[in-house]
A and B are shown apart, each in its own frame.
Chain A
Amino acid sequence: MRDDTSFLTSRLEKAIGWARKYSIFQYPFVTACCGMEYMATACSHYDVDRFGAGFPRFSPRQADVLFVVGTISHKLAPVLKRIHDQMAEPKWVVAFGVCTCTGGFYDNYATVMGIDTIMPVDVYIPGCPPRPEMVLDGLMKLQDKIMHQSTTGKRSAPEPRPGINGA
Protein backbone atom coordinates (compact mmCIF):
# COMPACT_ATOMS: atom_id res chain seq x y z
CA MET A 1 0.00 0.00 0.00
CA ARG A 2 1.38 3.35 -0.90
CA ASP A 3 1.86 5.95 1.83
CA ASP A 4 1.49 9.46 0.45
CA THR A 5 1.65 11.21 3.80
CA SER A 6 5.35 11.77 3.92
CA PHE A 7 5.39 12.98 0.34
CA LEU A 8 2.56 15.42 0.99
CA THR A 9 4.04 16.73 4.28
CA SER A 10 7.41 17.55 2.81
CA ARG A 11 5.80 19.45 -0.07
CA LEU A 12 3.62 21.39 2.34
CA GLU A 13 6.57 22.36 4.50
CA LYS A 14 8.42 23.53 1.47
CA ALA A 15 5.44 25.53 0.24
CA ILE A 16 4.89 27.14 3.63
CA GLY A 17 8.58 27.91 3.99
CA TRP A 18 8.62 29.48 0.56
CA ALA A 19 5.57 31.58 1.34
CA ARG A 20 6.91 32.67 4.70
CA LYS A 21 10.29 33.74 3.46
CA TYR A 22 8.79 36.10 0.89
CA SER A 23 6.21 37.65 3.21
CA ILE A 24 8.30 38.96 6.07
CA PHE A 25 6.40 41.47 8.16
CA GLN A 26 9.16 43.20 10.03
CA TYR A 27 9.10 45.20 13.21
CA PRO A 28 11.92 47.79 13.09
CA PHE A 29 13.09 48.48 16.65
CA VAL A 30 15.31 51.41 15.73
CA THR A 31 17.24 53.16 18.48
CA ALA A 32 20.40 54.64 17.00
CA CYS A 33 22.47 55.57 13.97
CA CYS A 34 22.09 52.13 12.34
CA GLY A 35 18.56 53.32 11.60
CA MET A 36 19.94 55.43 8.75
CA GLU A 37 21.38 52.34 7.10
CA TYR A 38 18.16 50.49 7.75
CA MET A 39 16.28 53.27 5.95
CA ALA A 40 18.74 53.19 3.06
CA THR A 41 18.12 49.47 2.75
CA ALA A 42 14.38 49.94 2.87
CA CYS A 43 14.30 52.70 0.25
CA SER A 44 14.13 52.29 -3.50
CA HIS A 45 17.86 52.15 -4.24
CA TYR A 46 18.38 48.87 -2.38
CA ASP A 47 14.68 48.07 -2.17
CA VAL A 48 14.16 45.50 0.52
CA ASP A 49 10.73 44.88 -0.98
CA ARG A 50 12.40 42.71 -3.61
CA PHE A 51 12.75 40.16 -0.83
CA GLY A 52 9.19 40.53 0.34
CA ALA A 53 10.26 42.36 3.48
CA GLY A 54 9.20 45.87 2.54
CA PHE A 55 6.28 46.13 4.91
CA PRO A 56 7.14 47.35 8.41
CA ARG A 57 4.46 46.68 10.99
CA PHE A 58 4.65 48.92 14.01
CA SER A 59 2.72 46.46 16.10
CA PRO A 60 4.61 43.44 17.42
CA ARG A 61 1.44 41.34 17.23
CA GLN A 62 1.37 41.67 13.45
CA ALA A 63 5.10 41.26 12.87
CA ASP A 64 7.16 38.14 12.47
CA VAL A 65 10.72 39.43 12.19
CA LEU A 66 12.11 41.75 14.86
CA PHE A 67 14.85 43.99 13.50
CA VAL A 68 16.81 45.31 16.48
CA VAL A 69 18.61 48.27 14.96
CA GLY A 70 20.99 50.17 17.22
CA THR A 71 22.43 50.19 20.74
CA ILE A 72 20.26 48.71 23.47
CA SER A 73 20.75 50.09 26.97
CA HIS A 74 19.94 48.30 30.19
CA LYS A 75 17.09 50.75 30.71
CA LEU A 76 15.57 49.78 27.36
CA ALA A 77 16.17 46.02 27.61
CA PRO A 78 12.88 45.16 29.41
CA VAL A 79 10.95 47.07 26.73
CA LEU A 80 12.66 45.17 23.94
CA LYS A 81 12.07 41.87 25.71
CA ARG A 82 8.40 42.70 26.08
CA ILE A 83 8.10 43.56 22.39
CA HIS A 84 9.68 40.20 21.59
CA ASP A 85 7.32 38.39 23.94
CA GLN A 86 4.31 40.04 22.31
CA MET A 87 5.18 38.75 18.86
CA ALA A 88 3.30 35.64 17.75
CA GLU A 89 5.13 32.47 16.70
CA PRO A 90 6.74 31.84 14.32
CA LYS A 91 9.06 34.76 14.91
CA TRP A 92 12.64 35.62 14.14
CA VAL A 93 15.10 38.19 15.46
CA VAL A 94 17.75 40.01 13.48
CA ALA A 95 20.57 41.77 15.35
CA PHE A 96 21.36 44.70 13.10
CA GLY A 97 24.71 46.40 13.73
CA VAL A 98 27.58 45.50 15.99
CA CYS A 99 26.03 47.10 19.11
CA THR A 100 23.16 44.63 19.06
CA CYS A 101 25.50 41.73 18.25
CA THR A 102 28.07 42.24 21.03
CA GLY A 103 27.71 45.71 22.46
CA GLY A 104 30.18 47.00 19.89
CA PHE A 105 32.65 49.55 21.16
CA TYR A 106 30.52 50.22 24.22
CA ASP A 107 31.78 48.56 27.37
CA ASN A 108 30.18 50.59 30.11
CA TYR A 109 27.54 50.76 32.81
CA ALA A 110 24.69 51.52 30.41
CA THR A 111 24.88 49.18 27.43
CA VAL A 112 23.60 45.62 26.94
CA MET A 113 26.52 43.58 25.62
CA GLY A 114 24.60 41.94 22.79
CA ILE A 115 20.85 41.34 22.66
CA ASP A 116 21.44 37.58 22.65
CA THR A 117 21.87 37.93 26.40
CA ILE A 118 18.15 38.65 26.66
CA MET A 119 16.55 36.90 23.66
CA PRO A 120 17.35 34.34 20.95
CA VAL A 121 18.84 35.82 17.79
CA ASP A 122 18.60 34.23 14.34
CA VAL A 123 20.83 36.42 12.19
CA TYR A 124 23.68 38.70 13.23
CA ILE A 125 24.59 41.55 10.91
CA PRO A 126 27.75 43.18 12.29
CA GLY A 127 29.13 46.48 11.07
CA CYS A 128 29.13 50.02 12.39
CA PRO A 129 26.81 50.50 10.65
CA PRO A 130 26.50 47.57 8.20
CA ARG A 131 26.29 48.44 4.52
CA PRO A 132 22.93 47.80 2.87
CA GLU A 133 24.55 44.96 0.91
CA MET A 134 25.38 43.30 4.21
CA VAL A 135 21.83 43.81 5.43
CA LEU A 136 20.46 42.21 2.28
CA ASP A 137 22.91 39.34 2.69
CA GLY A 138 21.72 38.87 6.26
CA LEU A 139 18.14 38.99 5.10
CA MET A 140 18.82 36.30 2.49
CA LYS A 141 20.44 34.15 5.18
CA LEU A 142 17.32 34.62 7.28
CA GLN A 143 15.16 33.64 4.31
CA ASP A 144 17.25 30.52 3.93
CA LYS A 145 16.72 29.73 7.57
CA ILE A 146 12.96 30.32 7.32
CA MET A 147 12.78 28.13 4.22
CA HIS A 148 14.37 25.17 5.97
CA GLN A 149 12.44 25.42 9.19
CA SER A 150 9.63 23.07 10.23
CA THR A 151 6.03 24.20 9.74
CA THR A 152 5.49 24.79 13.43
CA GLY A 153 8.48 27.03 13.58
CA LYS A 154 10.23 24.84 16.15
CA ARG A 155 13.96 25.09 16.30
CA SER A 156 16.79 23.92 18.46
CA ALA A 157 17.66 25.94 21.53
CA PRO A 158 20.36 28.56 20.95
CA GLU A 159 23.88 27.61 21.93
CA PRO A 160 25.03 29.18 25.20
CA ARG A 161 27.29 32.12 24.67
CA PRO A 162 30.79 31.43 25.96
CA GLY A 163 31.78 33.51 28.93
CA ILE A 164 28.28 34.73 29.79
CA ASN A 165 25.74 31.94 30.08
CA GLY A 166 28.36 29.27 30.51
CA ALA A 167 31.02 30.66 32.81
Chain B
Amino acid sequence: MITRVPRIAPSEITPPEVYFSRRALLAGALATGASALLPAAEAPQAQGAALTYTANPQYSVKDTPNKYEEIAGYNNFYEFGTDKDEPSRNAHTLKTRPWSVTVSGEAEVRGTFDLDDLLKGLALEERVYRFRCVEAWSMVVPWVGFPLSSLLARFKPTSRAKYVGFTTLYDPRQMPGQRVAVLNWPYVEGLRIDEAMHPLTLMVVGLYGRVLPNQDGAPLRLIVPWKYGFKGIKSIVKIDFTSVQPRTAWNVAAPNEYGFYANVNPQVDHPRWSQATERRIGAPFLAARRPTLPFNGYAEQVASLYQGMDLRRYF
Protein backbone atom coordinates (compact mmCIF):
# COMPACT_ATOMS: atom_id res chain seq x y z
CA MET B 1 0.00 0.00 0.00
CA ILE B 2 1.34 3.39 -0.92
CA THR B 3 1.02 5.75 2.00
CA ARG B 4 -1.08 8.84 1.66
CA VAL B 5 0.50 12.08 0.63
CA PRO B 6 2.03 13.76 3.66
CA ARG B 7 0.30 16.97 4.59
CA ILE B 8 2.48 19.79 3.36
CA ALA B 9 3.20 22.39 5.99
CA PRO B 10 2.55 25.92 4.75
CA SER B 11 6.12 26.84 5.62
CA GLU B 12 7.44 24.26 3.21
CA ILE B 13 5.65 25.73 0.27
CA THR B 14 7.45 28.23 -1.84
CA PRO B 15 5.52 31.49 -1.92
CA PRO B 16 3.35 31.75 -5.00
CA GLU B 17 4.98 34.99 -6.11
CA VAL B 18 8.16 33.02 -6.66
CA TYR B 19 6.33 30.30 -8.52
CA PHE B 20 4.26 32.58 -10.61
CA SER B 21 7.01 35.05 -11.36
CA ARG B 22 7.56 35.56 -15.02
CA ARG B 23 11.24 36.04 -14.29
CA ALA B 24 11.61 32.52 -12.95
CA LEU B 25 13.50 30.13 -15.12
CA LEU B 26 11.48 27.97 -17.41
CA ALA B 27 13.40 24.98 -16.03
CA GLY B 28 12.92 23.09 -19.23
CA ALA B 29 9.31 22.34 -18.48
CA LEU B 30 8.14 23.28 -21.91
CA ALA B 31 10.52 23.29 -24.80
CA THR B 32 9.08 25.76 -27.22
CA GLY B 33 10.13 27.13 -30.57
CA ALA B 34 10.73 25.61 -33.92
CA SER B 35 13.86 23.77 -32.82
CA ALA B 36 11.74 21.43 -30.76
CA LEU B 37 9.59 20.43 -33.69
CA LEU B 38 10.99 17.38 -35.34
CA PRO B 39 10.44 17.02 -39.06
CA ALA B 40 7.28 15.09 -39.83
CA ALA B 41 9.30 12.35 -41.50
CA GLU B 42 11.08 11.55 -38.27
CA ALA B 43 7.94 11.50 -36.20
CA PRO B 44 5.09 10.37 -38.41
CA GLN B 45 2.74 9.87 -35.49
CA ALA B 46 3.09 12.23 -32.57
CA GLN B 47 2.92 15.90 -33.39
CA GLY B 48 3.41 18.99 -31.32
CA ALA B 49 6.42 20.31 -29.50
CA ALA B 50 8.65 17.87 -27.63
CA LEU B 51 8.58 18.10 -23.85
CA THR B 52 11.39 17.65 -21.35
CA TYR B 53 10.45 15.00 -18.83
CA THR B 54 11.72 12.01 -16.92
CA ALA B 55 10.11 8.60 -17.00
CA ASN B 56 8.55 7.47 -13.74
CA PRO B 57 8.68 3.66 -13.78
CA GLN B 58 7.41 3.48 -10.21
CA TYR B 59 4.02 4.72 -11.38
CA SER B 60 3.99 3.02 -14.76
CA VAL B 61 2.34 -0.24 -15.74
CA LYS B 62 4.18 -2.81 -17.82
CA ASP B 63 1.43 -3.18 -20.46
CA THR B 64 2.29 -2.14 -24.00
CA PRO B 65 1.01 1.37 -24.61
CA ASN B 66 -1.55 1.99 -27.30
CA LYS B 67 -0.43 3.59 -30.52
CA TYR B 68 -0.42 7.35 -30.76
CA GLU B 69 -3.07 7.33 -33.48
CA GLU B 70 -5.37 5.25 -31.27
CA ILE B 71 -5.01 7.57 -28.30
CA ALA B 72 -5.33 10.66 -30.49
CA GLY B 73 -7.93 9.26 -32.89
CA TYR B 74 -10.50 7.64 -30.61
CA ASN B 75 -11.77 10.21 -28.15
CA ASN B 76 -14.81 11.05 -26.12
CA PHE B 77 -14.66 14.83 -26.05
CA TYR B 78 -18.24 15.89 -26.67
CA GLU B 79 -17.22 19.54 -26.95
CA PHE B 80 -16.02 18.58 -30.43
CA GLY B 81 -18.74 16.07 -31.35
CA THR B 82 -20.14 12.86 -29.93
CA ASP B 83 -18.54 10.41 -32.38
CA LYS B 84 -15.16 9.01 -31.42
CA ASP B 85 -13.48 10.34 -34.55
CA GLU B 86 -14.96 13.83 -34.34
CA PRO B 87 -12.62 15.35 -31.73
CA SER B 88 -9.53 14.56 -33.81
CA ARG B 89 -11.18 16.15 -36.83
CA ASN B 90 -12.67 19.17 -35.09
CA ALA B 91 -10.40 20.10 -32.19
CA HIS B 92 -8.01 22.16 -34.32
CA THR B 93 -10.28 25.13 -33.63
CA LEU B 94 -9.21 25.17 -29.99
CA LYS B 95 -6.61 27.80 -29.15
CA THR B 96 -4.48 26.48 -26.30
CA ARG B 97 -2.24 29.55 -25.91
CA PRO B 98 -2.56 31.96 -24.24
CA TRP B 99 -4.49 29.95 -21.65
CA SER B 100 -5.45 31.01 -18.19
CA VAL B 101 -6.70 29.08 -15.20
CA THR B 102 -8.85 30.65 -12.51
CA VAL B 103 -8.45 29.40 -8.96
CA SER B 104 -11.27 30.09 -6.53
CA GLY B 105 -12.93 28.94 -3.35
CA GLU B 106 -11.45 27.59 -0.16
CA ALA B 107 -7.82 28.42 -0.80
CA GLU B 108 -5.46 31.17 0.29
CA VAL B 109 -4.07 31.74 -3.16
CA ARG B 110 -6.83 32.61 -5.60
CA GLY B 111 -6.96 34.44 -8.89
CA THR B 112 -6.42 33.98 -12.58
CA PHE B 113 -3.05 32.66 -13.67
CA ASP B 114 -1.40 32.23 -17.01
CA LEU B 115 -0.92 28.53 -17.65
CA ASP B 116 2.76 28.87 -18.56
CA ASP B 117 3.34 30.66 -15.27
CA LEU B 118 1.53 27.89 -13.41
CA LEU B 119 3.64 25.24 -15.08
CA LYS B 120 6.93 26.88 -14.19
CA GLY B 121 9.02 24.82 -11.85
CA LEU B 122 6.84 21.75 -12.14
CA ALA B 123 9.00 18.81 -13.20
CA LEU B 124 7.27 16.79 -15.87
CA GLU B 125 7.26 13.02 -15.70
CA GLU B 126 6.01 10.29 -17.97
CA ARG B 127 3.65 7.72 -16.48
CA VAL B 128 2.17 4.82 -18.39
CA TYR B 129 -1.33 4.40 -16.99
CA ARG B 130 -4.21 2.10 -17.75
CA PHE B 131 -7.22 4.03 -19.02
CA ARG B 132 -10.69 2.52 -18.59
CA CYS B 133 -13.67 4.17 -20.22
CA VAL B 134 -17.12 3.77 -18.66
CA GLU B 135 -18.15 2.36 -22.07
CA ALA B 136 -16.13 -0.80 -21.28
CA TRP B 137 -13.12 -0.22 -23.52
CA SER B 138 -9.61 0.47 -22.33
CA MET B 139 -6.22 1.69 -23.44
CA VAL B 140 -2.73 2.09 -22.02
CA VAL B 141 -1.42 5.62 -22.30
CA PRO B 142 2.01 7.20 -21.75
CA TRP B 143 0.94 10.53 -20.29
CA VAL B 144 3.32 13.38 -19.51
CA GLY B 145 2.38 15.52 -16.57
CA PHE B 146 2.86 16.18 -12.88
CA PRO B 147 1.05 15.14 -9.73
CA LEU B 148 -2.04 17.26 -9.18
CA SER B 149 -1.02 17.58 -5.53
CA SER B 150 2.09 19.59 -6.41
CA LEU B 151 -0.08 22.12 -8.25
CA LEU B 152 -2.88 22.29 -5.68
CA ALA B 153 -0.44 22.74 -2.80
CA ARG B 154 0.62 26.06 -4.29
CA PHE B 155 -2.87 27.46 -3.83
CA LYS B 156 -2.81 26.59 -0.11
CA PRO B 157 -6.25 25.03 0.21
CA THR B 158 -7.79 25.76 3.60
CA SER B 159 -9.18 23.16 5.98
CA ARG B 160 -12.64 23.89 4.56
CA ALA B 161 -11.57 22.58 1.16
CA LYS B 162 -13.14 19.11 1.17
CA TYR B 163 -13.49 18.85 -2.59
CA VAL B 164 -11.89 20.32 -5.65
CA GLY B 165 -13.91 21.02 -8.77
CA PHE B 166 -12.66 21.57 -12.31
CA THR B 167 -14.34 23.27 -15.26
CA THR B 168 -13.65 22.95 -18.98
CA LEU B 169 -13.51 25.99 -21.24
CA TYR B 170 -16.92 27.14 -22.44
CA ASP B 171 -16.64 28.71 -25.87
CA PRO B 172 -18.95 27.35 -28.58
CA ARG B 173 -16.93 29.16 -31.27
CA GLN B 174 -13.87 27.09 -30.39
CA MET B 175 -15.83 24.06 -29.22
CA PRO B 176 -18.62 23.54 -31.76
CA GLY B 177 -20.06 20.58 -29.86
CA GLN B 178 -21.18 22.99 -27.14
CA ARG B 179 -23.82 24.36 -29.54
CA VAL B 180 -25.77 21.18 -28.89
CA ALA B 181 -27.08 20.63 -25.35
CA VAL B 182 -25.91 17.02 -25.12
CA LEU B 183 -24.52 17.83 -21.67
CA ASN B 184 -25.04 20.78 -19.41
CA TRP B 185 -22.08 22.93 -20.55
CA PRO B 186 -19.53 23.70 -19.38
CA TYR B 187 -18.25 20.27 -18.39
CA VAL B 188 -17.55 20.03 -14.66
CA GLU B 189 -15.70 17.34 -12.79
CA GLY B 190 -14.47 17.01 -9.24
CA LEU B 191 -12.63 14.96 -6.68
CA ARG B 192 -12.62 14.61 -2.96
CA ILE B 193 -9.55 16.45 -1.68
CA ASP B 194 -7.80 13.25 -0.57
CA GLU B 195 -8.36 11.78 -4.04
CA ALA B 196 -6.99 14.95 -5.57
CA MET B 197 -3.88 14.85 -3.38
CA HIS B 198 -3.21 11.16 -4.06
CA PRO B 199 0.17 10.69 -5.78
CA LEU B 200 -1.43 8.76 -8.67
CA THR B 201 -3.67 11.68 -9.61
CA LEU B 202 -2.03 13.36 -12.55
CA MET B 203 -2.34 16.71 -14.31
CA VAL B 204 -1.47 15.99 -17.92
CA VAL B 205 0.08 18.31 -20.50
CA GLY B 206 1.61 15.75 -22.85
CA LEU B 207 1.33 12.44 -24.63
CA TYR B 208 4.14 10.33 -26.04
CA GLY B 209 6.67 12.94 -24.97
CA ARG B 210 5.01 15.76 -26.82
CA VAL B 211 2.51 18.49 -26.14
CA LEU B 212 -0.94 16.96 -25.67
CA PRO B 213 -3.09 16.95 -28.84
CA ASN B 214 -6.17 19.16 -28.57
CA GLN B 215 -8.53 16.20 -28.90
CA ASP B 216 -7.00 14.62 -25.80
CA GLY B 217 -7.70 17.67 -23.67
CA ALA B 218 -4.96 20.22 -24.30
CA PRO B 219 -3.54 22.23 -22.79
CA LEU B 220 -4.30 20.84 -19.35
CA ARG B 221 -6.31 17.79 -18.36
CA LEU B 222 -6.84 15.53 -15.39
CA ILE B 223 -6.12 11.81 -15.25
CA VAL B 224 -7.31 9.69 -12.34
CA PRO B 225 -6.26 6.20 -13.42
CA TRP B 226 -8.47 4.24 -11.00
CA LYS B 227 -11.65 6.04 -12.13
CA TYR B 228 -13.62 5.86 -15.36
CA GLY B 229 -12.27 8.09 -18.08
CA PHE B 230 -15.01 10.71 -17.88
CA LYS B 231 -13.55 11.87 -14.55
CA GLY B 232 -10.48 13.02 -16.48
CA ILE B 233 -11.76 16.47 -17.38
CA LYS B 234 -10.12 18.14 -20.36
CA SER B 235 -9.05 21.68 -21.31
CA ILE B 236 -9.34 22.94 -17.75
CA VAL B 237 -9.88 26.67 -17.14
CA LYS B 238 -11.10 26.64 -13.56
CA ILE B 239 -10.11 25.02 -10.28
CA ASP B 240 -12.50 25.56 -7.40
CA PHE B 241 -11.94 24.39 -3.83
CA THR B 242 -15.26 23.72 -2.12
CA SER B 243 -16.72 22.37 1.08
CA VAL B 244 -19.56 20.65 -0.81
CA GLN B 245 -19.42 17.98 -3.48
CA PRO B 246 -19.24 19.53 -6.97
CA ARG B 247 -22.14 18.87 -9.33
CA THR B 248 -20.31 16.96 -12.02
CA ALA B 249 -21.45 16.89 -15.65
CA TRP B 250 -22.25 13.22 -16.21
CA ASN B 251 -23.68 12.80 -12.74
CA VAL B 252 -26.08 15.67 -13.41
CA ALA B 253 -26.94 14.28 -16.85
CA ALA B 254 -27.80 10.75 -15.63
CA PRO B 255 -27.39 10.33 -11.86
CA ASN B 256 -28.46 6.68 -11.89
CA GLU B 257 -25.81 5.81 -14.47
CA TYR B 258 -22.79 7.95 -13.56
CA GLY B 259 -21.82 8.49 -9.98
CA PHE B 260 -19.61 11.17 -8.48
CA TYR B 261 -16.95 8.64 -7.49
CA ALA B 262 -16.94 6.61 -10.73
CA ASN B 263 -14.28 4.25 -9.45
CA VAL B 264 -13.61 1.41 -11.88
CA ASN B 265 -15.50 -1.49 -10.37
CA PRO B 266 -16.22 -4.80 -12.13
CA GLN B 267 -18.79 -5.63 -9.44
CA VAL B 268 -21.01 -2.63 -10.11
CA ASP B 269 -22.52 -2.65 -13.59
CA HIS B 270 -23.66 0.33 -15.51
CA PRO B 271 -27.48 0.02 -15.53
CA ARG B 272 -27.38 -0.71 -19.24
CA TRP B 273 -24.19 -2.75 -19.64
CA SER B 274 -21.77 -4.91 -17.72
CA GLN B 275 -18.53 -3.51 -16.32
CA ALA B 276 -17.10 -6.96 -15.55
CA THR B 277 -14.92 -7.02 -18.64
CA GLU B 278 -13.45 -4.55 -21.07
CA ARG B 279 -12.07 -4.57 -24.61
CA ARG B 280 -8.52 -3.33 -25.05
CA ILE B 281 -8.37 -1.05 -28.06
CA GLY B 282 -5.71 -2.12 -30.56
CA ALA B 283 -5.51 -5.69 -29.29
CA PRO B 284 -5.80 -8.44 -31.92
CA PHE B 285 -9.18 -9.84 -32.96
CA LEU B 286 -10.50 -12.41 -30.46
CA ALA B 287 -7.88 -11.47 -27.87
CA ALA B 288 -9.08 -8.02 -26.84
CA ARG B 289 -11.56 -8.76 -24.07
CA ARG B 290 -10.10 -8.95 -20.58
CA PRO B 291 -11.48 -8.86 -17.07
CA THR B 292 -11.81 -5.42 -15.53
CA LEU B 293 -9.80 -5.04 -12.35
CA PRO B 294 -11.09 -3.36 -9.18
CA PHE B 295 -9.94 0.26 -9.21
CA ASN B 296 -8.56 -0.48 -12.68
CA GLY B 297 -5.72 -2.44 -11.11
CA TYR B 298 -4.73 0.33 -8.71
CA ALA B 299 -6.56 -1.12 -5.70
CA GLU B 300 -3.39 -1.60 -3.71
CA GLN B 301 -2.68 2.12 -3.87
CA VAL B 302 -6.18 3.60 -3.57
CA ALA B 303 -8.63 1.14 -1.99
CA SER B 304 -7.85 2.56 1.46
CA LEU B 305 -9.34 5.91 0.38
CA TYR B 306 -12.76 4.25 0.37
CA GLN B 307 -12.52 2.10 3.46
CA GLY B 308 -15.91 1.55 5.03
CA MET B 309 -17.79 3.02 2.09
CA ASP B 310 -20.53 1.08 0.32
CA LEU B 311 -19.16 1.16 -3.21
CA ARG B 312 -22.50 0.05 -4.65
CA ARG B 313 -24.11 3.11 -3.21
CA TYR B 314 -21.22 5.46 -3.89
CA PHE B 315 -20.55 4.21 -7.40
Partners in one complex: no
